[in-house]
Amino acid sequence: MAELVDALDLGSSGIIRGGSNPFTRKRSIMLVYLETFGCQMNELDSELVKQQLKNNSYKFVEEDKSADIILVNTCSVRDLSEQKVLSRLGYFKLLKDMKPQLIIGIIGCMAERKKEILIAYPQIDLLVGPNRLYEISTLLKNIIGISKRTKQVSLFNIDRKDSSLELLERMDLERLQDIENRKQAYVRITRGCNKFCSYCVIPKTRGFEIHRNKDAILYEIKALVEAGVVEITLLGQTVNHYPEFHALLKDIHDRFPKLERLRFMTNYPRDISDDILDVMRNSSRICKYLHIPAQSGSNKILKLMNRGYTREHYLALIRKARSKMPDISIVGDMIVGFPGETQEDFEQSLSLIEEVQYQNLYIFKYSPRPDTVSFRKMIEDVSSKEKQIRHFKMLSLQQQISLKHLKNQLGKIVVILVEKALNAKLYMSARLIGRTEGNDVVIFQGSRDLIGKIVNIRIEYITSYILGGSFVSEFKNDHSYEDHKKTSQD
């Protein structure tokens, strides 16, 4: 096995606190507070870390102040994401000043990307990169169990030959011990990314693209479905780059009839094949929902971004998806203020948005990330004020489009998966919240029994980009996509 633990003994550099370590005293249960920033992949990683630590008798708490261990699962995709964590670290330092035995760990992408800087923070005891998360319990033991505290650091990316991959894989599979009462779950199918978009830090933090073994994915899904999970979202940075992705989708859909909803994200436009669209169209329980970021509507900027497709190619793809599935929800990501983006390029992005009519759009101001091509080779020539203006304009345009989409739902009966109740558990009747297969959020008043079920809701009003309505009936998913469309339009 590759060297797993790279324990840095920083000796007397301020890490040993107060001579004796209170954790060397036998203490039955350690309390952990885990905070998560960033994407769905991070949410899944946090869930797996939680599972790993629970298996090792740690208990989780909701409050940072009552914890013995604080873990922060971090994101590096934009500077803002990192700034948030740095400001949390200032606060955690105050907590640690009051409680010197507190253990603080930074895990995930920022641990990997900012290791040199973070290691110098006296309040940090643990740094673990996204590809080493399976080691956390061992590393914590190293901190807790010995009188002289040493910083524990485990980073580095993995490659296909690294046996640590097997240990990472085990983490995904071990989650199966704690999935009761779950209705929704993420399942990773791919780790890392090979696309090298010029602005993106992910290949540096999560490493090269590695596809999980299909049998392992199916095994995991089987156990989730048997435990009552009704909605699964397959995750990958470029999920549709999985080999024969359409066959995987079809296989999952056909093997697990009790799985009411199957989603996947995020898609890379160039890798959406006709096969994938056809399987989506023909499989009634695959959500007609595509998160498919364009990032820009200007060919010049797409080229600088190294996205590997043109505006025309992207628009043709959206048209094709809509011709096969007229009701499909298209969701995207856009970056404004990329180096070299002129007013004209920006307007090309706006016109692409007009043309696509996204149901929802995530809009980001370009953030230069060290070690990326755009940071090293391009001049940041859009001022932050201009980025702000473009961000606002794009947001306003999208808000109009989203609102138009929502208004179109008024009076219709939509099918949603009920996710949870919004108010405290006083009465059986509650304000419930759920999502359509296109990911529109819907609220209604109904019995808590409906949580986890698929139901028909008549849409009656819109409130801050959320649909509101009333319960009609439970949905029986025993017909094809075409029938389903008919019912929801009645």
Nearest distance in Å: CB 371, ligand 5AD: 11
Q: How far, in Å, CA of 86 to CA of 109, rounded?
A: 13
Cβ distance 310 to 302 under 8 Å? Answer: yes
Nearer to ligand 5AD, 49 or 200 (CB): 200
Our CB check for ligand 5AD shows the closer of 108 and 452 to be 108
Q: Give me the least distance between CB of 266 and ligand 5AD, in Å please.
A: 7
Nearest-angstrom CA–CA distance, 67 and 102: 8
Q: How far is CA 459 from CA 229, 403, 412, 413, 471, in A?
A: 26, 14, 6, 6, 9
Among residues 293 and 434, whose Cβ is nearest to ligand 5AD?
A: 293
Q: Which residues bind ligand 5AD (CB under 6 A)?
A: 77-78, 199-200, 293, 295, 333, 335, 364, 366-367, 369
Residue 79 or 226: the one with the smaller Cβ distance to ligand 5AD is 79
Closest contact distance (angstroms) between CB of 395 and ligand 5AD is 14
- Structure tokens given for 235: 């995750």
For the bound state, the minimum distance from the C-beta of residue 106 to ligand 5AD, rounded and expressed in Å, comes to 20
Residue 21 or residue 296: which is nearer to ligand 5AD going by CB? 296
Cα–Cα dist 412/203, whole Å: 43
Q: Which is nearer to ligand 5AD, 271 or 278 (CB)?
A: 271
Q: Which amino acid is at 456?
A: N
Cis status, amide bond into 266, omega within 30 of 0: yes
HEC assignment per residue over 259-318: CCEEEEECCCHHHCCHHHHHHHHHCCCECCEEECCCECCCHHHHHHCCCCCCHHHHHHHH
Q: Are 402 and 462 in contact (CB under 8 A)?
A: no
The H-or-E segment that residue 144 falls in is helix 136-144
Q: How far is the CB of 333 from ligand 5AD (least distance, A)?
A: 3
How far apart are CB 199 and ligand 5AD at their closest, in Å? 4
The CB-of-378 to ligand 5AD minimum distance in angstroms stands at 11
Minimum gap (Å) between residue 230 Cβ and ligand 5AD: 27
**How many Å from the N-terminal Cα to the C-terminal Cα in the chain?**
60
Hey, which residues does 467 pair with through a beta bridge?
442, 462
Alpha-helical regions (H) of 2-131 = 40-55, 79-98, 109-113, 115-118
Cβ closest to ligand 5AD, residue 174 vs residue 333: 333
Residue closer to ligand 5AD by CB (options 77, 443) is 77
